[in-house]
Chain A
Amino acid sequence: MYADDSADSQIIERLHRRDPEGLAAAYDRYGRTAYALFVRIIHDQTAAEDLVQELFLRLWNRSREFDSNKGALGVWLLSIARNMAIDYVRSAQSRFSSRLRSMDHVDALCFSRNPTGRESRIHDVRVIQEAFGTLSADEKRVMELAYFEGFSQSEIAENIHEPLGTVKSRMRSALARLRSVITGNKGQ
């Protein structure tokens, strides 16, 4: 088990005991990243604060579902945070309201899946940013539209007025580069 995983395990164990200090520790570990993600996606700091509060309340309410030895706390928190933020924007714009995908499978994997070793990469901020910095401007654009706007590949193509094939190609190359730098592997 990685050191970071051990820290998450301790947080989950405290949450299992309904210890508010466990939630405080989770906030200290992921609150800053989640807040920045909310602000980046919804561009509203007040609403971002509301969503951070809701995010950690969700964690408190669902913490018993986490396996303290296998759960991927950070992956779950940031995946849920991103989904909440995109859902917030879409609800506000009254569009795509029915397209947002279910998080059931994400929940199931994060609650009790054996760690893959990549979970600790969440804390490698510098590595992630450097990896993203290696992408071309076009690759960055499609990744930002996908990650921060929640656009599908066809929506991205429509948004940037490029063929769908071009979007897929850029996204495939961007993901390969990120994977290579972040995980040190070129394949899955």
Chain B
Amino acid sequence: MTHAEMSELYELYALGVLEPELALEIERHLDEQCEYCSEHLSAALAMTAALANIAEPKAPPARLKERVLSTVRPPKAARRWSFAVVALAAACLALVAFSIASRVAMQRMQTQLAGLTEERNQLRSAVEILSRPETRTVEFGRTENVAHGRVLVNRNGGFVFVGSQLPSLGSDRTFELWLVPTSGAAPQPAGLFRPDQSGSSVHVSSIPVDARTTKAVAVSVEPQQGSSAPTTKPFLIVPLA
């Protein structure tokens, strides 16, 4: 078939109404990169595509555009929502972290404050005991390499235990002070304490210690919560006489 004979067929081919054998012949020309056929078929395709406009105009629903675009991008609202969720989650995490940190800091400060208050009260008690003329001081140890210190007793105001080179303690253990009566009765619990890292400690007790009825101040190692009677042999006995 010549190009002249085919010239009436391009539009029919573009419409898809050609019989298969004629369509095949045009396609063979196209496969051979025939410039003439390509040019004329392009023009025919443009004209038949324009025939779409003879369809009765029909506006698509407004939602269709967003539906089409949703196949290639997430909806803007979703993206905003996702961003908002992420931002909110990050803010919540930051708030929780800040809250936890604040609570921990607050607890630490409260603990420190309680410790300082206790130390202040003990110091005030110690000063009060030391300032009383009837207070007696009893030293023990007197050697640098063993536990040593002093006990200040007052028969009305209480007593102060000051110790150094005290033995180290397990985490589940504590020192417990005992007042040993002259009567031979059981020792009376007089307070718990733990030395600092250097093995030193100052403990102030408000329990009056009358040297006439109290034979000695003793210290033993006890369970963390303390005992009502010594469970171990006291490692330190300070006679008050």
Contact = CB atoms under 8 A, between A and B. Distances in A.
A127 B42 CA distance: 20
Interface stretch (B10-18, B101-109, B121-129, B165-173): B10-18
A86 B65 CA distance: 23
A152 B21 CA distance: 12
14 contacts: A28-B65, A33-B52, A49-B64, A53-B64, A78-B49, A79-B14, A100-B16, A109-B41, A109-B45, A110-B45, A122-B49, A129-B53, A148-B55, A171-B17
Interface in B19-71: 19-20, 23, 27, 30, 38-61, 64-65, 67-69, 71
A37 to B, nearest CB: 5
Contacts of B8: 172
Contact of A37 (B41, B44, B52): B52
Nearest to B71: A57
Contacts of A124: 50, 53
B7 interface: yes
Interface in A34-53: 34-37, 39-41, 48-49, 52-53
B45 A75 contact: yes
Nearest to A15: B72
A53 B68 contact: yes
B45 A31 contact: no
Given A116-B39, A150-B16, A188-B40, A122 B50 contact: yes
B27 A156 contact: no
The DSSP consensus for interface residues of chain A is: helix
B41 A105 contact: yes
Interface of B: 7-8, 10-12, 14-20, 23, 27, 30, 38-61, 64-65, 67-69, 71-73
A88 interface: no
Contacts of B41: 105, 109
Given A129-B54, A152-B19, A27 B69 contact: yes
B40 A31 contact: no
A60 B72 contact: yes
Nearest to A149: B17
Nearest to B11: A175
A125 B71 contact: no
Nearest to B70: A53
Contacts of A72: 42, 45-46
A171 B51 CA distance: 14
Contact of B38 (A41, A60, A109, A152): A109
Given A146-B17, A156-B17, A175-B12, 8 more contacts: A28-B65, A35-B64, A53-B67, A100-B16, A116-B42, A118-B43, A132-B51, A183-B43
Contacts of B56: 36, 39-40
Contact of B45 (A99, A106, A154, A171): A106
B65 A27 contact: yes
Given A32-B60, A147-B15, A122 B68 contact: no
Contacts of B72: 20, 23, 57, 60
Contacts of A36: 52, 55-58
